[in-house]
Chains A and B, each alone.
Chain A
Amino acid sequence: MTPDMELALPARAENIALIRHAFGALGETLAVDEELLSDVRLAVTEACSNVVVHAYADETPGPLEVLATLDDGTLTVVVRDEGPGIAPHPDSPGLGLGLPLIASLAESVQLGRDEQERTEVCMTFSLSDDRVDRASSTSSTRGVTSRGGQDDQVDPAPRT
């Protein structure tokens, strides 16, 4: 499915604000609940921050792509980079909470690579009114999974 919104820009910290603004416009246009929009923006911010900090470490910042697709009340966001992939970063400056935070905010999270071997974080958010009460959700239903349909859990701590 063709994304409804697609941004491609250098993986620089200052561009994260631009991405947040773009999602703000998307949310306001679609009259997305304010709390949910905050969740979406925070999750996208975390995913993009991971790209900025880890994907091109010690190199010139490479491309960062963010794709948003709306389909039947579900917003799917893909954050994509051309870095080496998600791997342990013991020297990370972050708290190691990035991917767990994304998992807690999104309905689902998948980590993987696309057909061009680019690293992807794919998040989905339910925009419908009857979305699951987050407070009652258990962590087992909000894990981070690898792409391909398997249920194997990926340790989300390494990046950030």
Chain B
Amino acid sequence: MTSEPSGFYPRLWLFDLLLPACVFLATLLLWEAIVRAFAIPPYVLPAPSLIASTLVNDWPLLFASLLVTLRITFEALALAVIGGLGLAILLAQSKPIERALLPFAIILQVTPIIAIAPLLLVYLESSTAVLVCAFLVAFFPILSNTALGLASTDHNLVDLFDLYRASRWRRLALLRLPSALPYFLRGLRIGGGLALIGAIVAELAAGAAGQGTGLAFRITEAGYRLNIPRMFAALALISFTGVLIYGALALISRVALRRWHDSARARQM
């Protein structure tokens, strides 16, 4: 890309950012126009302007809930990174360990989390249960991607480390972990989005027990009160949070792989 003539950039930028932004804005305007033209009552479908003003008016309440949801999401993601990375390294140490433990990880992955949530709420305090739910969904993509990365080391480089009689530890630190980095980061991007979904789903399940104060609980609560604009405002905040998390994690991966990202892609082909 660096060799492209600089005049090419503005057009690319226009296409990548401005076009979707315009379409998004046009959609909002159309929505606003339809609500006004047909005089649709706000308890059926609120106009974007009403959702925006609800967001402003209810900000103290919504912001407090956003912080709760964010805290759960990031705590779950941090635990998933530690657990996923740690277990992937453990699995990569020997085939018997991998054979013995992988089925558990797969069972956790294929079981819909919403089905586990009520059970977790029986055994755990609701805030812990929500955290565990979010952790469980974020954990598997990080584990499986990292495990794949650790197993995809360049054979010639493995030979080279054999030739110089590298210890198991140095092989891990200097060869296998760096090789796995692009895979781990891909797992992290997926896991980040799933942690938020897990937190929301678990909160919805826990909300029935009346303990939650996260954004999902606000949606349930506003639903009971037929406060549809607030439901939309909370939903908009959740979407926005999801976009931010994905963007932040994508940025981390781009910065980490900046110098060798092309070659990493070529090797995956």
Q: Are A and B bound to each other? A: no
